[in-house]
Structures are given as structure tokens and as C-alpha cells.
Amino acid sequence: MSFFNGVREYLTGNIMQGGDTKHECLYNEFGYPEQVMYEQCRRAYDRIGIAKGSIHCLKDKAFQTMPNIYEGEEERDESTPDTAIDKQFKRFAKRTQLWRVYSDVTVRRSVGIYAGLIIQIADDKDWNEPAENVRPDQVVKFIPVWQDQLLVSEWDMEPLSPNWGEPLSYSYLAFDPQSVKTAIAAPTRAKTIHCSRVIYFGDIRGDGSSPTTETMVLRNGYNSLKTIEKVVGAGGEGAYKNAARHIALNFDGQVQPAQLAQMLGCKVNELGDAFNKIGKDLNLNFDAVLALMGANADVLSTQLPDLGQPFDNAMQDFAASRQIPSTIIVGMQTGERASSEDNISFALRAQSYRENVLDYEIEKMLQAFAKIGLWDGVEWAIKWDSLINSTELEKAELAKVMSETMLNIVNAGYQEPLYTLEQIRVAAGQPAKLPQSEEDKGLDDRSKEFDDIDIEE
């Protein structure tokens, strides 16, 4: 654990203790940990479906369409053609699967305090050397890593340095194909990596100074996750035990143990084991027979309580911690009106996640690219498609309003149009330009041939 993380956990632990002045051991009585660490959040993500679903549903919604990265500071409409740099970056992102890998990193950052993206570069240098003057074709791939795979081995502690408090190098627990695999985990070996080859996302210092807020997102709702786990586990265990047909044999006072032992072919002190074998045979075989010698056989069962209310209470609390409707997390639709409202609320949540978290991280990633020579000096703009999709009727209504506005402007004598025809077509959900017919293409070709003829004056 780093110094920053140690201080943070110490302060957090002391603040959490004694939250309930009357019940000092309330968390212990409920089985909740006093402090929620990365390992517990990772285990919850790996083992509790609701925990994983809450992270992936937001990620999947935010990356429903990939971001459009283009050169320039101003927004451009769809009719503006891509520049050469735009096309080069799109080819680069497609070849390296940049957005797929980055979306995976956002999941790892959400589970832990931070996550990393390693840039594998074919520059004939060791990973512990700085990367400089890198060309796009030299980037082999991007490697997403979990928090416990990427540890800071050296910090910049120079007070006058502009990068004070930032990592200088990392220790990466890399896969080691030369080692022998075990049944527990894949073999790893520590590999030192220079900071220029790693982009971290999240609060790597652990002091809360990072602008990124979507870190350890399961911490706030962890108690509710454990409650859900207990409710589901208790319900499953109770149903299993009821279905297991635990049998109780009640013998009257006239039956002697020696007679039972003789009937079962065992000694008196072995009667317990003999009865257990009978019960096991009954549960394993459909055609097993139970011979009774003046005894009554009863099945031990209990009436399970309705676990729906405790589950729903915990589910609502966890959903509130994630700011996602519970119906979205579990995929339950309870009515058209309710589901529509939840979907709109969730789309707004994902839109906010894009603008407040992902845009910042993408800008940070582009700056890291520039530091190693990738498109250095290029100003980038980030644009996403809207997640608040309009219906076809709403699109047609918007296009109608835009057209009527244009007509009113022309009738008023203004020459400068407010909208272009392409913008109105896009608002209606149509391509900016109509596809050319074969006849129009032929006219264009003949016109180009005519333009190429030299006319002597």
C-alpha cells in the first residue's frame, strides 16, 4: 500500500468507527466490515451478479455508440468531411481496438480506486525506458490492467516539479509464460514500466485529489450487497433443505434398540450411522424403501418467510448508491410508464457519466499520446451521439418546425438561412445528403469530362 493510500485508509477508518454511539459493534452484528477495501469490492464484482450488472449496464449504455474524436476545437456537423488526421486516428483506434479496451478499463477503475492502460510500443526499447517520438504504426496494442496488477514503484517527490505526486515508474505483475501454471492463478512476474508507457485512470494517490468520481463505486452500497447475498443465500439454502427430505423417526416405547439393530444388521452403537444411510438412500434413489417397525416417519420442513421485502429494501438502497434505477440493474419491467421513466432517467445518468467522467479521461489519454509523440500539437474535440433518442414522430415534428422557421425567415426578407437543408434532413433522422441515382452519377461524369476539355480561345 502506498503512503497516500495508507493515510486515506487510516483517516477513513477512524471516521467510520463509532458512527452509531449506542451500538458500537453494529457492523459486526450485521456482518459488515468496518472498512471496505479494494479486495472486497473486487470479490463482490466477481461473485455478486447485481454488483457486476450495475457497473456493466452503465458502461454498456455509455458506450452504446463510440465517441467521435476529430481535429479542431469547434463542433462540426455530420456533413463536414473528415480531415487526414481524423481518418488516421480512426484507423489507429480501429486497429488497436482502443475504445473496446478503454471501456474495459472503465470497469476496472469503477471496481477499484484506479486502473491502468499500458501502451505496448514496438520502439526497440525496454519498458522501463521513456517512450519518445512514437509513430501511430509503432503502437502494437493497449493492455488494460487491474489496480492490484499495477503498483507505483517510484513517485515524483521533487517539490518544484510540475508533476509532483505523480508516478515515475510502475511495477506491473505481468503474465510469465515461462513459469509453470498452477491451479490457483496464472504465473506472474514483476516488470518495471516507465510512466510514459502507462495511462492511469482514477485516484491513484488515494487522497481524493483526482477529478474522477467513478471509483470504488461498490463501496457505498456494499452493506446492501452483503444483505442481498445473505437473503439470496438463505433462501436458496432454505429451499434446498426443505427439498432434501430430512426424516424424523418416532419409535414407540415398546421398540427395543436391540431389535432395531438386528433388523438393520448392525450393532446397537451403530444405529445412528445406519439410519443416516437410510435417509441418504431415500434422497438419492426414487425406488428406495423405508421399513418401519412400529415407528412414524415425518419430514422435517419449515415454512420459509417471504424474502421479497428484505431483498427489495436492500436492492433499492444499492440502486440509490449507484444512481441507477433498480429496474435497469435487474432488467425488470413493471409497466410501460414506469419502464419509460426509468429508461429516460438512466439515459440521462449515462449522458452525465460521459460528459463528467469519460470526456475528462479521454482528454487525459489524448494528452498522454501527445507526450510520447502521437499527434503532438493537435487540438482534439470529443463528440458523442445523444442517448436521448427521439421517436420518429418527434424527429418529423422537429424537421417541420425547422422548415417553417426557414420559410418565415425567407418571407421576412432575410437572405441568410438559419438552417441548411442538410441540417433539417439530419434532424428528421435522415442522411445529410440524398444518395445519388445512377442517372445523376452519369451526368456528373459527363460534366467532369466536359470540364477537362481544353477550349482554345
Q: How far is CA 354 from CA 86, 249, 319, 358, in A?
A: 21, 65, 19, 5
pLDDT value at position 429?
74
Query: Which residues are paired to 114 by β-bridges?
Result: 202
In this predicted structure, what is the pLDDT of residue 445?
A: 58
- Check if the beta carbon of residue 137 is closer than 8 Å to that of residue 227: no
4 vs 8: CA distance, rounded Å: 6
Q: Cβ(429)–Cβ(84) under 8 Å? A: no
What pLDDT does residue 21 have?
65
End-to-end CA distance of the chain: 84
What's the burial of 98, exposed, middle or buried (CB within 10 Å: 0-12/13-18/19+)? buried
3-state secondary structure the chain: CCHHHHHHHHHHHHHHCCCCCCCCCHHHHHCCCCCCCHHHHHHHHHHCHHHHHHHHHHHHHHCCCCCEEEECCCCCCCCCCCCHHHHHHHHHHHHHCHHHHHHHHHHHHHHCCEEEEEEEECCCCCCCCCCCCCCHHHEEEEEEECHHHEEEEEECCCCCCCCCCCEEEEEEEEECCCCCCCCCCCCEEEEEEEHHHEEEEECCCCCCCCCCCCCCCCCCCHHHHHHHHHHHHHHHHHHHHHHCCEEEEEECCCCCHHHHHHHHCCCHHHHHHHHHHHHHHHHHCCCCCCCCCCEEEEEECCCCCCCHHHHHHHHHHHHHHHCCCHHHHHCCCCCHHHHHHHHHHHHHHHHHHHHHHHHHHHHHHHHHHHHCCCCCCCCEEEECCCCCCCCHHHHHHHHHHHHHHHHHHHHCCCCCCCCCHHHHHHHCCCCCCCCCCHHHHHHHHHHHHHHHCCCCC
Q: Quick one: angle between helices 271-284 and 257-264, nearest 10?
A: 50
- Are the C-beta atoms of residues 117 and 142 closer than 8 Å to each other? yes
Give me the amino acid identity at 263.
M
Instruction: Name, in order, each residue with C-beta under 8 angstroms of 206's C-beta and a sequence gap of 6 or more.
Output: 2, 4, 5, 7, 8, 9, 113
**Cβ proximity of 193 and 152 under 8 Å:** no
**Nearest in space to 313 (alpha carbons), one of 190, 223, 208:** 223
pLDDT of residue 299: 73
> What pLDDT score was predicted for residue 110?
95
**Which residues in the chain land under pLDDT 70?**
1-23, 176-188, 211-212, 244-245, 253, 286, 288, 290-294, 332-339, 389-394, 415, 435-457
pLDDT number for residue 183? 47
All three cell numbers of 317, joined, read: 438502497
C-alpha cell at 189: 512476474
Query: Per DSSP, what are the bridge partners of residue 98?
Result: none
Neighbours of 383 (CB within 10 A): 12
pLDDT attached to residue 123 = 94
